[in-house]
Amino acid sequence: MGVVIESDIWELRPQIFLILFFTSFLSIFLFPYFNKNNSNNKTSSYPDLGGIVSNPPSLSSFLRFQTSFLLIYSLASVNEGIQAVFGEFEYAYYGVSREQMLVYLCVGSASAVLFGTFLGMFSDVMGPKKISLAFCFLHLFVGIWKSVTRHPTGWIATTCLALASTIFSFSFETWMVTEHEKLGHRQDMLSDTFWLMAFFESASLIGSQVLGNLLIGDNAEKGIGFPSTAIVFFSLMIVIYISKEWKAMPLAGGVDDYMVALNACVLHDKKVWLLACAQACLHFATTILWLLWAPTMVADGREVHLGLIYPCFMGARMLGSTAVPWFHSGFLQVGIEDCLMFAFSAAGLVFSIVAYDYQEIGVLVTLFCFFHVCVGIILPSLARLRTMYVPNELRGGMISLSLAPANAGVLFVLIQRGYFRSIENSTIMAFSAFALFAAAGCMHLLKLRRKQPRQNWHEL
């Protein structure tokens, strides 16, 4: 008589979501109470960000600016989330093989390396408004293409979405920082916007998954095109708002002056090099995680409801972003570089554990959630360092150039793992761990050089 082995499907407990969201909002609501003793000295804790204007605008003016920006940024994040979450589902639904999906991923990474590297410089020269509109038009084109053809053309869609993701990584932040400074708002408020960007982006990514599930419903044959229709709608909303409300900010000097400044301030400034290296390491590690977390979960034939784990990761990142003001401007008063050294090292430790042994599913979920807590801390902190060391006029170019080696590394991993089968997933995880530890080392070296102030690119 044969032996029947029952297989259990591992499910995440719903209480985890409540704990993550409750602790996130508790962190936000309690921060003003614990920070009230430091409110009188708050402006003095940001001397590195460029100083405080003598007659800053009113708080209500800043809140209107911040709220409108976060709303548009959240809608853009929803577009990014829908495309990322349901891309593989669409391909599988239309019968695209995994080998073809691998080709599409390689095409996307190659497009990011060949073309995305220069988009930041175009943003600096033409202004972040135009490049942000390009982000919307790329999503709009893909959404219309999918809605009309009812079949995702992988080469076109992947290339457009890879370029859109590259633009998303710098364009909205660049416009916000530049406009914030032109309006004369206090720089400590800018730091608050950074962690709120990470918080709302994570919340929007959760919302994109919920929205996509609602639109598709139980009948995939009828609902498969509805997420693309939603992308078209959101893209049009963003285009209309940006066209009417955002001010164009083209380069003040000539292109030759810009290239001289980029060469002197970004390519030859060791502090900026260290910051760019840390940014590249983070981008490589997070991309590798999104490629490998699902295969790692279902290794050895294990069955998992993966759709429930994704919002758990984003909830963990929301929690990490709410911790940023506690570290940087609350009573903890931890230095930015010290905080980043800890966060990068902790994230590297997560990859090291997974690379050594895949662990049980519950342990993996805990480790990956802890990694996203670290990411929630790192993203706003790196944005603050960019404000300290990188002139606003060079911000987009610096970010896109820093992503180039990370995208090249991802392309290398995809080819070696997908085509040649020459490396294992554990080896790729080890690469990511090494990158994160290297980023922690960059933060240590940056701390040693912090006393050197940044230069204005017009003085170079």
Q: What is the CATH number of the domain that holds 190?
A: 1.20.1250.20
CA-CA-CA-CA torsion sign (29, 35, 37, 43): negative
pLDDT of residue 3: 37
Torsion on CA atoms 52, 327, 280, 110, rounded to nearest 10? -90
pLDDT of residue 330: 60
Number of domains, the chain: 1
Residue 146's domain comprises 10-32+60-459
**Whether 188 contacts 43, CB under 8 Å:** yes
Least confident of 79-88, 243-252, 288-297, 447-456: 447-456
Name the one residue in this structure whose structure tokens are 């997420």.
Answer: 227
Is position 51 within any domain?
no
pLDDT of 41 higher than 80: no
Mean pLDDT across 69-73: 97
pLDDT of residue 34: 74
Is position 53 within any domain?
no
Mean pLDDT across 242-259: 82
- Binned at pLDDT 50, 70 and 90, residue 451 comes out as low
Mean pLDDT across 331-342: 87
How far, CA to CA in Å, does 178 sit from each of 21, 117, 129, 181, 305? 32, 21, 11, 5, 43
Is position 46 within any domain?
no
Name the one residue in this structure whose structure tokens are 């038009």.
Answer: 137
- 87-127 per-position pLDDT tens digit: 778 888 888 888 888 999 999 999 999 999 999 999 999 99
Name the one residue in this structure whose structure tokens are 């083209």.
Answer: 250
Is position 141 within any domain?
yes
Who wins on pLDDT, 260 or 58? 260
Is position 2 within any domain?
no
pLDDT of 150 higher than 90: no
Is position 279 within any domain?
yes
Is position 39 within any domain?
no
Entry pTM: 0.91
Is position 49 within any domain?
no
Mean pLDDT across 296-319: 88
pLDDT of residue 55: 54
The three-point CA angle 270-274-278 to 5° equals: 165
